Structure 1
Amino acid sequence: MSQTPIKPSRRALLRGTAALAATGAIGAPMVLREARAQAAFNWKRFSGTTIDVLLVKNPRSDLFQAAEKEFTELTGIKVSSEQVPEQQQRQKAVIEFASGKPSFDVSGISLHVQKRMAAKGKWFEDLNPYIKDASLTSPDFAFEDFGAGPVAYARQADGALDTLPFFVDYWMVYYNKELFDAKGVAFPKTMEEMFTAAQKLHDPAKGVAGFVSRGLKNANVPVWSCLMLGQGMEATSADGKLQTDTPEAIWAAELYRKLNKETGPVGSVGFNWNECQTTFMQGRAAMWLDGIGFATPLEDPSKSRIVGKVGYGVTPPGPKAHHAGMFGDGIGISRGSQKKQAAWLYIQHMTNKAQQLAMLKAGAGAPARSSAYLDTATIQASKFGKQYFDCLLASAKIARAALPQIVPVTEFRDVFGVALTNMIGGSDVAAELKKATDAFAPVLAKSEQG
């Protein structure tokens, strides 16, 4: 392939013109300016390079992999990517980054779990210099298009932007409208009403659970912490103190136990999000509390039995506050990579405006870029319908971090995950939280000293 800059194809120009026209905000002169800027940037400068990418198995990674062919045609850079289930991917990242010689050039991370760990371990390159380098960053990348909230979520305390935020996940309630209508049940207006609604909808004889959520230890902690937000409280206070055995935390854990023990499916103690998703889209659960980014297969007739029957509801308010738990993903360049500049071109392409809009169109979650939400034509034509987007936008307005931003967040999830699992088994809620708090307090203290 030629090493010189290439002009965009007629098809690409037409596609760009249509997309821009759909926003109703930009005319033909801007299209020509963007086309010329694209042509002037040398995407081919690292042609012949191969980069390795570590991804978490989810709908966003499916979109990344689907775009690899287009990226290779644009740059001449080949991509070898791997999707690994969430828990295993996190373990793999920790082990490989600790070695100093990770096998991948680019990795995605969960900001709500690995942000501070990544900073402490110096996992990634600071992307600020790359963004400012006009020879490495295409003029149409438009970093300013990324929302201030997601960027602040990704930015480290020292100002480094070691990952680029590409996805923000808000927790909400998926519900089966057909099951609700059949029993004349209204969508719950409060967190407590979630339980009463689940009781009415729970029908084990017909194989239908009133409610499903993560029961697997570690994975289950965000469910509890999202319920705790209904008390206007996070697991740690502003000054970093644990608030995990307070009356508010106990209330949230009691609700978690009731929902899962009394109205959950058999075996849910071993469920992660994927088992919950499968149960819900097979029509075997009336409600599912989890991230809005898991919607994609629910409206896919080849995978789901409830296409067109899915309701998307904002997490109901708790006794003291109304928040939607917020999580997010970032993607960065391994500090140990020998192909950092080629890796940066990959990150640019996978987080560009078209890719972020594709995420929204696919129902794979909330993009970090603001421009995606201006494409009213896409929203109106989406198979997910107005309620999905209303839920997404309403959740964004009340979003609050659901997990503590601490270094040992994995240990936090492990310790309290065991406690929650024990509760479903019948153990005393307050006693389990007290035991977990006492066990985790020295771990947190030690991490802060380091």
Structure 2
Amino acid sequence: MSEITRRTTLRVAAGLLAAPALVERVGAQQAFDWKRFKGEKVEASLTANPRSALLLRHQPEFEELTGIKVGAEQIPEQQHRQKFVIEFASGRPSFDVVGISLHVNKRQVGRAKWCTDLRPMIQDATLTAPDFDFGDFGKGAVAYSTQADGRMDTLPEFTDYFILYYNKDLLAAKNIAVPKTFEELYTAAKALTDPSKQQYGFVGRGLRNANVVLWSSFLLGTQQQDTVSPDMKLLTDTPDAVWAGQMYQKLMRDCAPPGSIGFNWNECQTTFMQGRAAFWIDGVGFAAPLEDKARSRVAGKVGYAVVPAGPAHHNCCLFGTGLGISEQSSRKGPAWYYVQWAVNKTNQLRFLTSGAGAPARSSPFRNEEAIKESRFPREFFETLVESARIARPGLPEIVPVTEFRDTIGAALTNMVGGADPAAELKRATEAFRPVLEQSERGT
């Protein structure tokens, strides 16, 4: 029996044995009350990003609403993943609530059952606010937060779609239309590349590990689409995978700035903000600084579009995050209150209108008044809605995701250096296959 259920049972039992006035008071306590856990404290471990920054900024709202104190920390992405895995494995995590990158850690967290199943809490009217509105969460986001065994061990927070950013002025100067296919993207990017002016047609991730999701964007446009089959066989050296590698190589070698072999999203963002790149494919969560007139030379000149189509399909990469509650937590009730608040309709709308990313809820996209007042053009919101329709996971749901990204990423980095895509992907596939097989055996 969970601590929350046991506590509730004991409270009810005590009330039934007490005076009628106490019985009446216990009955009243069964209704949802934001102050139920007043005086308690929860610890939250979050990944440093614009969404977490918003939650920390508005945290006093939650503390005033509930009387619960929150100790929240933001940790850079890579360090955060390492930290919570180590703490969970120790059996004594320091946090009650944890932010999980589902595209990296979903299967690992699910297999180890590190986070509690939230379904009983969602269904408990004494623990879940009447206006929680679970049906407001997108079906794709809910599926992403649900494990293969049916346990929902995170609540959807954020869905990250890869989109096409473009510099309107650079395209207009040469009368170039927004590309509809990857081949059109390459042709346009090549035409807009002029190293003598430090102007490049494309900027994208070249750094090992980080670069895999750009290659995935191209692969999703092929007949194959996936990197791992349902029966856990690698599909990373097939003709479609090689085609995606060739497209990646052409754009990065012929159209990207020098040094991009070491670029992650932040270097790409800086290059685009400086007006030195015509196109950039990356996550919607990186849009906000682009429209900051104090920091960006392209503010007000940024175009937003869905990623181009491939030769067989039109998809975009989907990534996502969720908030989980540690199975080891002794404060699951207060933690659940925090999670509810963190992904309520107000905070999800803040994500959208500030450019911090695409919320997991559907209602923010219907808030016309807020969208009109946003500093982002309508094109931005239309792109998110359309991206949601064509989104597919950009990484396989396997435990050794980091090793997968490292191994395939090294092959992609070699391609930027001029290596043959087919040979590199064959070598990387052979290197990673035993890692995946060992992982599937649970050894």
Same fold (TM over 0.5): yes
**Pairing 1:133–2:124 present:** yes
Cα deviation, 1:322-367, whole Å, max 9, x if unaligned, reads 1111111111111222222111111110100111111111122221
1:394 has 2:386 as partner = yes
Identify the match of residue 99 of structure 1 among 90, 111, 132.
90
1:46 and 2:37 correspond: yes
1:320 aligns with 2:312: yes
**SS at structure 2 position matched to 1:257:** helix
CA distance in 2: counterparts of 1:175 and 1:88, whole angstroms: 31
Structure-1 residue corresponding to 2:439: 447
- The amino acid of 1:421's aligned partner reads T
Q: CA deviation at 1:51?
A: 2.1
**For 1:156-305, what aligned pairs fall within 5 Å after superposition?**
156-232=147-223, 233-305=225-297
Query: SS where residue 204 of structure 2 aligns?
Result: coil
| Counterparts of 1:216 and 1:116, CA distance in 2 | 25
Residue 107 of structure 1 deviates from its aligned partner by 1.1
- Structure 1 residue 146 and structure 2 residue 151: aligned? no
- Aligned to 1:286, the other structure's residue is in SS state strand
Structure 2 letter corresponding to 1:322 = H
Q: For the residues of structure 2 that align with 1:138 and 1:189, how far apart are their CA atoms?
A: 44
Unaligned runs of 5+ in 2: 1-30
SS in structure 1 of the partner of residue 404 of structure 2: helix
Q: Give 1:433's match in structure 2, choosing from 417, 422, 425.
A: 425
Q: Percent identity?
A: 59
Residues 55 and 61, structure 1, Cα contact 8 Å, conserved in 2: yes
Does 2:280 match 1:310?
no
The 8 Å contact of residues 67 and 350 in structure 1, kept in 2 or not, is answered as no
Residue by residue over 1:228-271, the C-alpha shift from the partner in whole angstroms, topping out at 9 and shown as x without a partner, is 01103211123322110011101101111111122112221222
Q: 2:100 corresponds to which letter in structure 1?
A: I
Please give the residue correspondences for 1:272-421 in structure 2 after superposition, counting only pairs within 5 Å.
272-421=264-413
Specify the code of the residue in structure 2 equivalent to 1:74: L
Alignment correspondent of 1:87? 78
Checking the alignment, whether the CA contact within 8 Å between 1:164 and 1:332 is kept in structure 2 is yes
CA separation in 2, counterparts of 1:313 and 1:198? 15
Distance 1:200 1:153 in 2: 39
The match for 2:48 is 57
- Matched to 1:46, the amino acid is F
Structure 1 residue runs of 5 or longer lacking an equivalent are: 1-39
CA contact (8 A) 2:45 2:95 kept: yes
For 1:47, the aligned partner's letter is: K
Structure 2 CA distance for aligned equivalents of residues 46 and 358 of structure 1: 26
Contact map agreement 2:365 2:381 (CA 8 A) in 1: no
Q: Which residue of 2 aligns with 1:114?
A: 105
Aligned length: 412
Question: Could you tell me whether the CA contact under 8 Å between 1:51 and 1:78 is conserved in 2?
Answer: yes
Listed one character per residue, the Cα deviations across residues 209-230 of structure 1 (whole Å, up to 9, x for unaligned) are: 2111111111111100111011
Q: Partners of 2:205 and 2:249 in 1: how far apart?
A: 11
User: How far apart, in 2, do the equivalents of 1:209 and 1:62 lie?
Assistant: 32
CA contact (8 A) 2:63 2:70 kept: yes
Contact 1:356–1:372 (8 Å) recurs in 2: yes
Runs of 4+ in 1 over 6 A off after TM superposition: none
CA distance in 2, matches of 1:196, 1:273: 23
Counterpart in the other structure of 1:10: none
Return the alpha-carbon distance in structure 2 between the equivalents of residues 204 and 41 of structure 1: 63
| Secondary structure, counterpart of 1:156 in structure 2 | coil
1: CA distance between counterparts of 2:148 and 2:109? 12
Looking at structure 2, the residues matched to 294 and 209 of structure 1 have their Cα atoms a distance apart, in angstroms, of 20
Query: Structure 2 CA distance, aligned partners of 1:257 and 1:129?
Result: 48
Partner-residue secondary structure (3-state), 1:92 = helix
The secondary structure found in structure 2 opposite 1:210 is: strand
Change (3 A) 1:282 1:78: farther
Aligned-partner residue type, residue 164 of structure 1: L
State how far apart, in whole Å, the 1-side matches of 2:150 and 2:391 are. Answer: 23
Counterparts of 1:101 and 1:265 in 2: how far apart (Å)? 46
Shift, 1:205, TM fit: 2.3
CA shift at 1:155, angstroms?
Answer: 0.4
- Once residues 104 and 207 of structure 1 are traced to their aligned partners in structure 2, the CA distance between those partners, rounded to angstroms, is 47
| Larger Rg over CA atoms | 2
Aligned CA RMSD, in angstroms, stands at 1.5
Cα deviation, 1:277-296, whole Å, max 9, x if unaligned, reads: 12211212111101112211
Secondary structure of residue in 2 paired with 1:311: strand
**1:201 & 1:92 partners in 2: Cα distance?**
43
Structure 1 position 415, deviation (Å)? 0.8
